[in-house]
Amino acid sequence: RKEVEQDPGPFNVPEGATVAFNCTYSNSASQSFFWYRQDCRKEPKLLMSVYSSGNEDGRFTAQLNRASQYISLLIRDSKLSDSATYLCVVNLLGGADGLTFGKGTHLIIQP
């Protein structure tokens, strides 16, 4: 049973476009949610936490839908530097047991 599912892509998107990813999670008890960014052969880096009310950080907007158990990430005005793998991450018990990672969505921004 896959706890966190993402479309692996790749998503090929022209520079300046808007792109959105979704992620679904199987455990309704999941308490916290994150988007991480991972560049090739590098460590994951926290992009943003995801709150129930939705949150925005510059060109990035994250949404959480608890009823449907999915998380979304929207990137506006995409830059070449946005090319990376985006990992959807959930924390089941609020800190005690680590994080459950999706396999990631590969994004390629094309000039």
Partner 1 sequence: NAGVTQTPKFQVLKTGQSMTLQCAQDMNHEYMSWYRQDPGMGLRLIHYSVGAGITDQGEVPNGYNVSRSTTEDFPLRLLSAAPSQTSVYFCASRNSPLANYGYTFGSGTRLTVV
Contact residues toward partner 1 (CB under 8 A) are: 4, 31-32, 34, 36, 42-46, 49, 51, 87, 89, 91, 94-104
| Closer of 41 and 111 to partner 1 (Cβ) | 41
Shortest reach from residue 26's CB to partner 1, in Å: 14
Q: Who's near 58: CB < 8 A, 6+ residues apart?
A: none
User: Nearest Cα to 62, choosing from 42, 30, 37, 38?
Assistant: 37
Nearer Cβ to partner 1 (70/110): 70
User: Whole-number minimum distance, CB 19 to partner 1, in Å?
Assistant: 21
CB of 75 to partner 1, least distance (A): 18
For partner 1, the closer CB: 24 or 100: 100
User: Using an 8 Å Cβ cutoff, are 75 and 60 in contact?
Assistant: yes
* CA gyration radius, the chain: 13
**Angle made by CA atoms 13, 54, 111, in degrees to the nearest 5:** 15
Inter-residue contact 102 to 43 (CB < 8 Å):
no
Q: How far is the CB of 52 from partner 1 (least distance, A)?
A: 10
